[in-house]
Amino acid sequence: MLSKSKKIVGLLLSVALMVALLAGCVGEEAAEPVVQVGTWRTAQTITPFYYDEFLDAQIEVLPFTNPGDQLTALLAGSLDMTGTTLVTAIMALARNEPIVMVTSLCMKCSALVVGSDSGIYAIEDLRGKTIAYVPGTMHHLLLLSVLEQAGLTADDVELIRIDFFDMGLALRQGTIDAFLSGEPFPSAAVLEGFGRILLYPYFEEEMGTINAGMITTRYMVENNPELIQKLVNAHVDATRYLNANTETWIEAAAAFGTDIDVVRYSMDNILLSYDIDEVFLANTRNLAQRMYDLDMIPHVPDVDALFNLDFLQGLYN
């Protein structure tokens, strides 16, 4: 009798275990996948951190330190959408990588900084000086373009590769005479007293102030357009919200670790964006040609193929 009871108890336990396992499987099937979006932790690339306020889906925003890593993660399938610079996107396009830009992310955001007591007051004064840069970036291209406009080439200065995060320290210590980077580093150099803005390197007649956008893959566009539309809708709403609530934007950006006074000072040099209009497209074509002229890409790709404007045109549909 005891043996029979043990068998019954064992059977009931087995049934209970099977029910629990089945319930777990059903739960896993019912759970919605988490949307993965990449960006940087800066004031100019903060927008994706606000997508969840306007998106009816679970989302995880993953912070990166450079656009190249974001592109790699996207192509590997680890991200559904990510931010990247126009320069990085054009390089990918020239390599025939299957990416699509569906909205812009930010404009402006760059500055050429010199030592506050350097005696450098014009681009021509940079001849023979040491300038920090990161090869293959938007800021690299802007630096070469600035030098060229003043009749200088890379051979007329000493370019030294230093990470963006270390440029300020190098300028303060006198290791370099100048650097060109994105915010908040130029504003930090000014407010901390060791740097001075020599130039905001924007070329209105050629490349305007274009900087970065949000990209996805052609696979996602073809196989999950509903999700991409939701993400573009959220991006537009989040951009409008932050632009209308500047103090909220400033405080959130400062929470990334930048002094709030630095963030506030940098605001005049940052524009959050979402639109891609004809001027943006023309500036991007000019940018691609400029990259080719500077040997940053082997050929000028079909820039129009980079963009899919269907989602901006179909907002909230």
Domain boundaries along the sequence of the chain: 35-107+207-313, 110-199
In CATH terms, are 35-107+207-313 and 110-199 the same topology? yes
> What is the fold, at CATH topology level, of the domain defined by 35-107+207-313?
D-Maltodextrin-Binding Protein; domain 2 (3.40.190)
Q: Structure pTM?
A: 0.88
Region label for 255, one of left (φ > 0), alpha (ψ between -120 and 50) or beta (otherwise)? alpha
Q: By the 8 A CB rule, do 32 and 58 touch?
A: yes
Q: Is the pLDDT of residue 262 over 60?
A: yes
Amino acid at 160: I
Token readout for 91 is 């390089």
The band of 32, judged by pLDDT with boundaries at 50, 70 and 90, is confident
The band of 25, judged by pLDDT with boundaries at 50, 70 and 90, is very low
Q: In what order do the strands lie in the sheet with 110-115?
A: 158-161, 130-133, 178-182, 110-115, 195-199
% of the chain residues with pLDDT over 70: 90
Mean pLDDT of 64-87: 95
Q: Is the pLDDT of residue 20 over 70?
A: no
> What is the fold, at CATH topology level, of the domain defined by 110-199?
D-Maltodextrin-Binding Protein; domain 2 (3.40.190)
